[in-house]
Amino acid sequence: MTNEKKQMEREITNEQNKDSEKKNPKNQKHLVVSKKKFIIATSIIVIVIAILVLALIFWKNIFPQKEFSHIYNNYTFNHLNLSNTWLTNLTWMNIKITYEFYYHPQQLDKIPVDKNIRTDFIAVRNSGGNFYIGFDPVLSTLGTTAIAGTEVSKVTGKYFGVPTKSGFTTPLTDTTQDNFTYPIVNCEMANSTVFVLEFLPSDTNKIVYNANCAVIYAATPNDTIRMADLFDYKLINIIPDKQTK
């Protein structure tokens, strides 16, 4: 009987302790704080998920996925989501090089381009000639023009190994600023060993060509980059003459 009595006393004591904990203000405060922490944590998780969803929507709008064929004229193109550019592998003189372009050939092959650009350029290269890029002074103030020039020179200079230089199609207002004379580059320089490319503003996009002188007409600043990639594709023969309409 003594053991049973002790057991009953322990159970009564435990029940009393539980009632005491529930009535204790400190314990009640702890429960309130715990509930607040749970609500705050849940709210943070919801906000983070919402931000991730919005970021994904924003990302898709900024870098849309285009349904372009990865194989174009036997060249494989891989799309880079981060930069929204296209990579392809080129081979020249038994050397394989990976090049990055802003536009896929399918975005460009319907733009009018005169024929024989590649054929005559290769002839200038084989003769040990030079390549010059002339920018209209108005276009030269735009950042896209610098990108377009880089797009062309990386192919003419680095890929084909033709010495490439640049200048302006007409004199600037002050051609001696900072004691530096800016070179004039236009189609008047073109000959059997000099190939000239001019960038000029226009209301339409096209490439006109005659006797080692090519003129890129661009309707907008961004079009200068598009047309530069098109010119590169013509030189490399990714877009042959027969595919340009």
User: For the segment 103-152, what is each residue's pLDDT rounded down to a tens digit?
Assistant: 999 999 999 999 999 999 999 999 999 999 999 888 777 788 889 999 99
Spatial neighbors of 111 by CB under 8 A, at least 6 apart, are: 205, 206, 207, 226, 227, 230, 244
Q: 168 and 184 in contact (C-beta within 8 Å)? A: yes
Which of 5-9, 99-103, 120-124, 229-233 shows the lowest per-residue confidence on average (mean pLDDT)?
Answer: 5-9
Given a cut of 60, is residue 201 above it in pLDDT? yes
Residue 209 token pair: 């060509």
Given a cut of 60, is residue 243 above it in pLDDT? no
Q: 121 and 195 in contact (C-beta within 8 Å)? A: yes
Nearest C-alpha neighbor of 108 from the set 198, 208, 207, 203: 207
pLDDT in tens, 138-185: 877 778 888 999 999 999 998 999 999 998 888 876 555 555 567 889
Handedness of CA 221, 226, 231, 236 (dihedral sign): positive
- The rounded distance, in Å, linking the Cα atoms of 118 and 92 is 14
Per cent of the chain over pLDDT 70 is 68
The per-residue pLDDT for 80 is 87
Given a cut of 90, is residue 63 above it in pLDDT? no
Give CA separation, 179 vs 137, 176, 182, 185, in Å.
19, 5, 10, 19
